[in-house]
A and B are shown apart, each in its own frame.
Chain A
Amino acid sequence: MLPMFFWAFVVGGLICVFGQLMFDIAKLTPAHTMSLLVVLGALLDGFGLYEPLIDFAGAGATIPITSFGNSLVHGALQEAEQHGLVGVLTGMFEITSSGISAAVIFGFIGALLFKPKG
């Protein structure tokens, strides 16, 4: 259990450093950086490299936004196994639904509860 915390910290931190380098060295905007990272996560899962990273680092790999791309591909492939090509469309949000619904629901609740500052 303890090594898992350690590797979550290290791997998660390293992915964030990668993002920071894209901010500072490549001078990309946060939106460009996030989009690139998501695409990168999707590609990594396409080559089957993201799942081993999750086994190794746990939340260090599932919490960074790259995992969003990973689970999109994962859901699509899972459904595609059962239903063929149509599954790519129907399964896309199968795994990520919790993230998107949480963002929508809590975003709305946040807008109801809090007032903009300044």
Chain B
Amino acid sequence: MGDKQKQKLTPEQQQYQQLEQKHEIKRPVVKNCFKAFLVGGLICTIGQAITYFYIYFFHFTEQTAGNPTVATMIFLSMLLTGFGVYDHIGQFAGAGSAVPVTGFGNSVISAAIEHRTEGFVLGVGGNMFKLAGSVILFGVFAAFVVALFKTLLTMMGVL
């Protein structure tokens, strides 16, 4: 809580907040990070195995194999989300299952499944990108700015 907000509170409220802070359960940061490292690393290792699969059996190159790999990972994440397994992984791993692209897939798919009771058009269609939308928005806008700058600088001969 910012200092500005704190000033508005009465002394009793401030006291209560100190009390609350004292009893707040500390997040086990080191343990959480270890779990995130383990699960996130494992997901990426599985991704690496799928990448090699596409390189050896479908003749993708190291550079292009990333695309089918991402699609396959999202497919796997659909199965895990549908059977309710991904939620359990997420509770254990925190960012370890949210940061990989499977977490992106999970947020789209779980939103789609959750809202199907509201119908396919308004429910599934309208809410699918409820969580992932912000990732797409800021990703695209940042990429636009970066690419625009770089192209302009290249055109002006700076780069």
Contact = CB atoms under 8 A, between A and B. Distances in A.
Interface of A: 1, 4-5, 8-25, 30-31, 33-39, 41-43, 45-46, 54, 57-60, 62-65, 67-69, 71-73, 76-77, 80, 84-85, 87-89, 92, 95, 98-104, 106-111, 113-117
Contacts of A88: 144, 147-148, 151
Interface size class of chain B, counting residues whose CB lies under 8 Å from the partner chain: 35 or more
Interface of B: 27, 29, 32-33, 36-45, 47-52, 62, 66-71, 73-75, 77-78, 81-84, 93-96, 98-105, 108-109, 111-117, 120, 124, 128, 131-132, 134-140, 142-144, 146-152, 155
Contact of A72 (B47, B84, B112, B143): B143
A65 B131 CA distance: 14
Given A104-B108, A106-B75, A9 B41 contact: yes
A33 B151 CA distance: 28
Contacts of A109: 78
A38 B147 CA distance: 14
Contacts of A85: 148, 151-152, 155
Contact of B45 (A9, A25, A37, A114): A9
22 contacts: A1-B52, A8-B47, A12-B41, A13-B38, A13-B96, A19-B95, A21-B33, A31-B131, A34-B98, A34-B104, A39-B142, A41-B139, A46-B147, A46-B149, A54-B66, A59-B47, A85-B148, A87-B151, A88-B151, A99-B71, A106-B74, A106-B109
Contacts, number: 267
